[in-house]
Amino acid sequence: MPLLSCKNVSLAYDGATVATDITFDVNAGDYLCILGRNGSGKSTLIKALAGLIKPADGQIIYGEDLTAKQVGYLPQATVIQKNFPASVREVVLSGTRSLFYSKKDKQKADEVLQMLGLTDIEKHSCSELSGGQLQRVLLARALCASTKLLLLDEPTAGLDKLVTEELYGIVNKLNREQGITVIIISHDIDTSLTDATHILHMDHRVLFYGTSDEYINSGKAKRFWGVGE
């Protein structure tokens, strides 16, 4: 059974339909990159997968071992996030979604802080961090929510080239070495085609869904982005 399935899903935002007839499956261990122009419904889809909005039609089905509460979600970076008055450790711990943090919650936070190289700054205020550091903190928070599925909405938007490459490297490592399933929105086409196992190209509907190799060989990557064969 797939880890997650979309079946004929239609999505609306503020009463306006933004995507229709979205159908695809994601299996455990997949790295799915969602491509498409701005305004094509990508972020709305990610929010629906995270359980933040409900489909206007169709179904989003979670596998037996996955619920919406077990999904780690990293939204687009905002100024509000950077000005959030909390320490790195407090933000990461909040990903456990517990009212009172147990020993297990704290151990999980310690593991994730170490995994993402944040131990040295865990007591720092988020307002003191660089853009790259803050995104790693928010990624750590998402990991505290789940080690099964990560939903990432343009996680490198506004970051410089070096920080972008570092963050993509972390995500790729989590997928390849930890077996964490990744669904990511990205405008970095070259990295997406290299790292992703599957591509979902949408423009208010599905234009393509399949493996990265199939996407390149179909000619769509060349037609839309000028890359591939």
Provide the pLDDT for residue 80.
47
Q: Which residue has the higher pLDDT, 138 or 30?
A: 30
pLDDT in tens, 125-183: 988 888 888 888 988 998 888 778 999 998 887 778 888 888 899 899 999 998 999 99
Provide the pLDDT for residue 202.
94
On the question of pLDDT at 57 being above 80, the answer is yes
Tokens 């407090």 correspond to what residue? 90
On the question of pLDDT at 27 being above 60, the answer is yes
Provide the pLDDT for residue 164.
84
Strands of the sheet with 57-62, listed across from one edge: 16-26, 4-13, 57-62
Mean pLDDT, residues 13-27 taken together: 92
pLDDT in tens, 63-111: 987 876 678 898 876 544 566 678 999 999 988 877 788 898 899 899 9
Q: Which helix (H) or strand (E) holds 72?
A: strand 71-74
Provide the pLDDT for residue 225.
74
Mean pLDDT, residues 40-51 taken together: 93
Provide the pLDDT for residue 134.
86
3-state secondary structure of 12: strand
